Structure 1
Amino acid sequence: MSSAGEPGGPPRHPLDVVVVGSANADLVVQVDRHPAPGETVLGSELAVHPGGKGANQAVAAARLGARVALLGRVGADGHGRLLRESLERDGVDLGHLHDTAAASGIAMIAVGPRGDNSIIVAPGANALLTEGDVLDGEPLLRAAPVVSLQLEIPLPAVLAAARLARRAVLNLSPAVPLPDELLALCDPLVVNEHEAALLLGTSGAPDRQAAELLARGPRSVVITLGADGAVVAGDGAVQAVPSPHVAAVDTTGAGDAFTGALAWRLAAGEPLAQAAAFAARVGAAAVRRAGAQDSYPTMAEVEEL
């Protein structure tokens, strides 16, 4: 798959998905258990991997065969070079990935013995993505069937991109309250159970949460359930979507793998439930290896499931 033309210029190929979002260097340590507040625990040697929710989603879709662009910001530093090189290897269009004087974003990730993780993100250059950056990419965004969004970048940039999108997929991570206008542009709003509870102010059964979220204004909703698959809501129906059961090694970035795959299949015109079923298989394949982008499967690996 070819990459982009000159920075800021049009891509050399039609795109399936434009991702507007973050790129971070993931600083990963394996721990026997997660520390309690005020406690120190020993971990493994530090590993540095390319990550960030935006970059993860772009790589996940590209590795499956999608034509993808990433609009965002990285620092002109070592981590920024790592991120660019990783994205280029997977053929992601970088014509609208801007260098900035700030440090690149980083995520500090502790991975427990069952593959569970806790994450702290320092946004760095991601926090400097502006509405103007998004508007500069207007032709790119308007041409793509799907624009994929997350919330590791400033909300004004997210809202500007959603306004321009033919179809906006928004992953509510990290979870924050959303303005009604942005909610109404989501098709779908993608959340996990914890994010759904935060948005609703209460927990509950996933099918009920999906219906309640749909009533808040998005055009459709997907609630991801990890090993249990997902629940989708839209067009007056709520439907459970199963996931293959696999032995999880590391769940870091699995939600991004799901969302990137979902965006690609929606761009191809698949119904939401069908696209979510495929995305659940991609997420299951991703947890079988350590890391985020390093774990993302090719189409052949997904078909094995």
Structure 2
Amino acid sequence: MLVVGDVVTDVVARHAEPLAADTDTAARIAVRPGGAGANVACWAARCGARVRLLGRVGADSADWHRAELRAAGVDPVLRIDQDLPTAVVIALVDAAAERTLVTDSGAAFQLGPADWAEELLDGSARVHLSGYLFFSPPGRELAAVVAKSARARGLPVSVDPASAGFLRQFGVPGFLDAVSGTDLLLPNEAEAALLSGQAEPAEAARELSARCGGAEVVVTLGAGGALAAVGGRVVARAPAVAAGAVDSTGAGDAFTGGLLAARLAGADLPTALATGCRAGAAAVTTVGGRPPKAG
């Protein structure tokens, strides 16, 4: 599988008390490798898939990110930006393990067609595009090039919309037009509601599947698990897996990685949903968006 998307340095600040204005708030702070695209790649590899990742990072931390991806079982193809630093996200995680993100997209938003090479698709059985690609002009151009190349080879393409905030800024019609022809769309509940205009998740999934030409639409629901629609109707649901949550950063990425790995292995949609839910549950028990290191 080829994943195209963002590689990020995450600064995760877990605070037990609400943030206090004009003073200090005690927190436990950790620096972790992250990024929606990179996280998906790492979780898919953890779930048994062979994964290559195309991303763009700054020279400031390229060696560290490459080493972390390799250690997670991912084949990293990182383009080095000599002018911009690697993207940074500050994740503020409250006592309920819910996170608020502050983002500096840095080099990630410069990933574009010049970084592409057709041979990146060699040996791949499917392609996954991080939604963050669609929020910058170079990224949108690259997504279109990759999707066209993948379809020419008969490879399915999936997209994770990634960010309700960025979707609002970009605009729903433009995003839906950009992902037209996608085989699998993977929004969370808030993103599905925004993209469909339907507040109820099942209705949102049905609406989006119909708008996307009958494509698979999988909506993640946090503690509510996940559901899938195909051809404008809901065809599968999976419950969440109980877990002691410490940090929800990357839980959706873990779900996506698990689901895609299962589909690559030939699993049907209900089984893939369940695999994704297990990966998402594992993700919330660790700090950061990547699988815990073995040992």
The answer to whether TM tops 0.5 is yes
> Residues 232-251 of structure 1 correspond to what in structure 2 (within 5 A)?
232-235=228-231, 237-238=233-234, 239-251=236-248
Which residue is 1:7 aligned to? none
Task: Tell me the alpha carbon deviations over residues 6-26 of structure 1, each in whole angstroms, 9 at most, x when there is no partner.
Answer: xxxxxxxxxxx1110000000
Deviation, 1:92, is 1.2
Deviation, 1:236, is 5.4
Deviation, 1:185, is 2.4
Residue identity matched to 1:130: G
Deviation, 1:272, is 2.2
- Hey, what's the Cα distance between the residues in 2 that align with 1:180 and 1:45? 39
RMSD: 2.1
Deviating 4+ runs (over 6 angstroms): none
Residue identity matched to 1:81: D
- Hey, what's the Cα distance between the residues in 2 that align with 1:282 and 1:163? 30
- Hey, what's the Cα distance between the residues in 2 that align with 1:33 and 1:69? 40
Which residue is 1:11 aligned to? none
Task: Tell me the alpha carbon deviations over residues 87-108 of structure 1, each in whole angstroms, 9 at most, x when there is no partner.
Answer: 01122112x3111112011111
Which residue is 1:98 aligned to? 79
Which residue is 2:185 aligned to? 189
Which residue is 2:11 aligned to? 27
Task: Tell me the alpha carbon deviations over residues 19-76 of structure 1, each in whole angstroms, 9 at most, x when there is no partner.
Answer: 100000001111234548x766513253110000111111111122211100111111
- Hey, what's the Cα distance between the residues in 2 that align with 1:39 and 1:233? 47
> Structure 1: 5+ residue runs without aligned partners?
1-16, 299-305
Residue identity matched to 2:59: A
Task: Tell me the alpha carbon deviations over residues 205-259 of structure 1, each in whole angstroms, 9 at most, x when there is no partner.
Answer: 2111110111211511000011211010114541222122222111110100111
Residues 114 and 271 from structure 1, CA distance in 2 versus in 1: closer, same or farther, beyond 3 angstroms? same
**DSSP 3-state at the match of 2:286:** coil
- Hey, what's the Cα distance between the residues in 2 that align with 1:294 and 1:33? 27
- Hey, what's the Cα distance between the residues in 2 that align with 1:161 and 1:43? 44
Task: Tell me the alpha carbon deviations over residues 120-173 of structure 1, each in whole angstroms, 9 at most, x when there is no partner.
Answer: 221111111112323x1x232264111111122322222222222211111001
Which residue is 1:216 aligned to? 211
Which residue is 1:107 aligned to? 89
Q: For structure 1, which segment, 175-184 or 265-274, has the greater mean C-alpha deviation from structure 2 after superposition? A: 175-184
- Could you tell me which of 245, 261, 264 is aligned with 1:264? 261
Q: For structure 1, which segment, 40-49 or 24-33, has the greater mean C-alpha deviation from structure 2 after superposition? A: 40-49
Residues 180 and 267 from structure 1, CA distance in 2 versus in 1: closer, same or farther, beyond 3 angstroms? same
The answer on 1:164 being equivalent to 2:161 is no
**DSSP 3-state at the match of 2:267:** coil
Identical amino acids, percent of aligned pairs: 37
Residue identity matched to 2:71: R
Structure-2-length-normalised TM-score = 0.86
